């Protein structure tokens, strides 16, 4: 709608970040167990990493109903990582299987830590909820590679030759989007059409920390388009500063 053409090489979803992170930092890992969508598995495949789990029929239905079922779970020795992304088909079998792989020392990667997303007047549980369940089961935190990962913002700036002083991060979450831009040294703009409301910004009982305070606050992303189309007034005339004690002439 903005008339901006965007290619696939300009999109950086969290699933891409997870696949890139594993393939570049842990190149020996060639197979992963996935809690997440088909998109996560596709990104892993694009980076040379096989995967199981996700929305595949084998894991779409809960198959662990007893302790005996849990004890009978067979693990794939080729799996070197567990990737946890948002999964509408999350169930106990996925949780338990992932936990078993992590108990064996597999790399633990989370696509993002969002607590929830906003759908109309309701909050739908986000991937952070699934991560917490898995982290609690093994007593270990995931390496979250999506926003606000320092690794990801550094990668985006370097790989795209961005100048942080001429870059702005726009998003609707303080703890991910705005914190992400702050870590990269860019300006930030919070839009109020998503997870953050004006009352969140001015809650005296829970003030926004400096590392999450946006540079700008906008009603919506569309307001940027409106601002860009607004005819700006001509610049004011330029005046030379003259020393009062300088001789005339």
pLDDT, tens digit (0-9, with 9 covering 90-100), for 129-141? 999 999 999 999 9
Q: Residues 27, 64: one domain? A: yes
pTM of the predicted protein model? 0.85
- pLDDT exceeds cutoff 50 at 247: no
Q: What is the pLDDT of residue 230?
A: 66
Tell whether 9 is in a known binding site: no
Which of 122-136, 159-173, 212-226 is least confident?
212-226
Q: Which domain holds residue 215?
A: 163-229
Q: How many structural domains compose the chain?
A: 2
Pairwise CA distance, residues 176 & 120, whole Å:
20
Same domain, 123 and 168: no
Determine the Cα–Cα distance for residues 134 and 43; give it in Å rounded to an integer: 22
Compute, in degrees rounded to 10, the torsion defined by CA atoms 4, 10, 12, 16. Answer: 140
Q: Are residues 18 and 117 in the same domain?
A: yes
Q: What is the pLDDT of residue 238?
A: 39
Give residue for tokens 């005046």.
239
Q: Exposed e or buried b for every residue in 99-115, given b needs 16+ CB within 10 A?
A: bbbbeeebbbbbbbbbb
Based on the domain organization, do 135 and 208 belong to the same domain?
A: no
Report whether 172 belongs to an annotated binding site: yes
Q: Are residues 28 and 120 in the same domain?
A: yes
């Amino acid at each position: 709608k903005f008339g901006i053409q965007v290619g696939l090489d300009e999109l950086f979803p969290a699933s891409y970040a997870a696949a890139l992170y594993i393939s570049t930092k842990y190149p020996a890992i060639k197979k992963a167990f996935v809690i997440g969508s088909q998109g996560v598995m596709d990104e892993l495949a694009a980076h040379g990493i096989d995967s199981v789990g996700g929305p595949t029929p084998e894991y779409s239905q809960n198959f662990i109903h007893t302790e005996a079922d849990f004890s009978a779970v067979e693990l794939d020795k080729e799996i070197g990582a567990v990737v946890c992304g948002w999964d509408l088909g999350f169930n106990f079998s996925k949780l338990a299987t992932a936990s078993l792989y992590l108990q064996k020392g597999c790399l633990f990667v989370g696509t993002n830590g969002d607590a929830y997303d906003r759908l109309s007047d309701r909050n739908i549980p986000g991937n952070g909820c699934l991560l917490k369940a898995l982290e609690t089961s093994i007593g270990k935190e995931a390496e979250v590679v999506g926003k606000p990962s320092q690794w990801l913002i550094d990668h985006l700036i370097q790989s795209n030759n961005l100048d942080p002083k001429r870059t702005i991060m726009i998003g609707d979450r303080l703890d991910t989007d705005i914190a992400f831009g702050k870590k990269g040294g860019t300006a930030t703009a919070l839009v109020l059409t998503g997870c953050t409301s004006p009352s969140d910004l001015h809650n005296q009982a829970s003030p926004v920390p400096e590392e999450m305070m946006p540079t700008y606050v906008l009603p919506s992303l569309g307001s940027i388009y409106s601002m860009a189309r607004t005819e700006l007034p001509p610049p004011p005339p330029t005046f030379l500063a003259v020393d009062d004690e300088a001789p005339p002439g």
